[in-house]
Copies of this chain bind each other. A is one copy, B any other.
Amino acid sequence: MAVSTISPRVEEPAKRPPVNSRRQAMAAGCKVAILGFGTVGKAVAQVLCNAPIPGIRLAFVFNRNFERKRVSWVPEDVEWTDDLRQVLASDADVVVELAGGIEPAKEWVEQALLAGKSVVTANKHLMAVHGLELLQLARHTGQRILYGASVAGGVPVLNALEQGLAGDRLVKFAGVLNGTCNYILSNMESHGTPFAAALAKVQKLGFAEADPSDDVNGVDASCKLAILARVGLQADIQPESVYRQSIRGIDPIDFEYAHQLGCTIRQVSMAEIKGKTLRAAVQPMLVPFSSALSRTKDNQNALIVTGEHGGETVFSGRGAGGGPTAVAVVSDLLALAQNSQLTPARPLHSYRVSGNFSLRYLVRVRLRNQSDSISTIKQELSRNGVEIGSVLRKPKRSKGNSDVAVLTKACRPADMVTAIRDMRQLPGVRQAPVYLPILPN
């Protein structure tokens, strides 16, 4: 992407100190401006103010109507402002963007880079969609953008991909990357709560956005997967090219069927290189209890990274919340304060992106009455090239329902989707059937 795509509104601020003198200054102590004083912004400020970190000093807090945000524990020499130009014209070395979303965050990041400031951000949407463009602008201005907090919160996966596992040739990811979905699903599992009630609960607790569709539909996780694919697989993909399925429609009864198969249900993000194709998907899946992904509770995240030489390495921990995200942000600040050197850009490769994993599926169909038989379903699946492996036992709690559940043999998602669509048209079928692929071991 060319630098010329940058919004024309970006103007160079009046005072732009030369890069070298800024570098020198940073070595003496890195002055930080936080943009956005919400949960994460406050947590970052707490880490920086409670136990001062040598070489890093909070200098600015930028927020609209900052007066209602002001807290007494921030030292008096920290400036509060609602005027971004003041931050841009200041001697702050690093801008920490914690506003989230694409605009105005993108414009702020661009302006900061052009003003000769490095950027630390937790913004997965911004970095997934405009990351390449922003990284190029940073290079062009001699600054850096670090975004360790954008994937898996406090779990340092991006850092591991860029450094600790850099010596391997990575080929595959499988992860639980969205805390909200995980909270909903682990709650449905533990308490038999229906989806809507579990969602309401997580919203009440303040863990979910007012509009949770990006979480539930897999948009949020697909942004994280796109960032992981870029950093770890050197694959240039956009989040919208990732195959996505919503976790809506899952019923507590599905966990009972899953348990029969030695599995739980999680929203899983997968990416895998196969020749010139990058398979990428975010969807609810049956996850075997033997997998580290099955053991994510509440807002935990986990990522399994597979490399050609090192095999499987697993990272897990708190993927969301103020404290863990602040750790990732402050770690990036330390990296900037301690090392001003620009790292070379790794070349990215283009892949055909496909969600075409061949997987076995649990298919649950709710029938209008018990007398409707399994044979119609079998026929509908088979007509679309999907073979049934076995019919599942009716769970105790399901006795009143007229549910039928089967486990299919491995098939392509396109065939499954067509089969489900056709099945939905059958007069005996009461609601859209649920279909959940099984995560291979």
Contacts and interface: CB of A to CB of B under 8 A. Distances in A.
For A166, A326, A335, the residue with the greatest tally of chain B CB atoms inside 10 Å of its CB is A166
Interface in A308-329: 309-318, 323-324, 326-329
A158 B335 CA distance: 15
A341 B339 contact: yes
A400 interface: no
Given A327-B307, A335-B163, A338-B344, A154 B313 contact: yes
Nearest to A55: B344
B313 A166 contact: no
A98 to B, nearest CB: 14
Nearest to A169: B51
A340 interface: yes
A225 interface: no
A165 B331 contact: yes
A313 B316 contact: yes
Task: Categorize the interface residue count of chain A.
Answer: 35 or more
A419 interface: no
Contacts of A295: 292
A341 B344 contact: no
Interface string A156-194: 111110011111110000000000000000000000000
Nearest to A161: B156
Contacts of A334: 163, 166-167
A413 interface: no
State the copy count for this chain.
2
A156 B323 CA distance: 22
Given A312-B317, A313-B318, A326 B167 contact: yes
A155 interface: yes
Contact of A318 (B156, B310, B335): B310
Contacts of A391: none
For A168, A334, A344, the residue with the greatest tally of chain B CB atoms inside 10 Å of its CB is A168
Interface of A: 43, 47, 51, 53, 148, 154-160, 163-169, 292, 295, 307, 309-318, 323-324, 326-335, 338-341, 343-344
Q: Which 4 A-B pairs have the closest CB atoms?
A: A156-B164, A167-B330, A313-B317, A159-B164
20 contacts: A53-B167, A154-B168, A154-B309, A154-B310, A156-B165, A158-B164, A160-B164, A163-B334, A168-B327, A292-B292, A310-B318, A310-B324, A311-B317, A314-B314, A314-B315, A314-B316, A314-B317, A315-B315, A338-B344, A339-B339
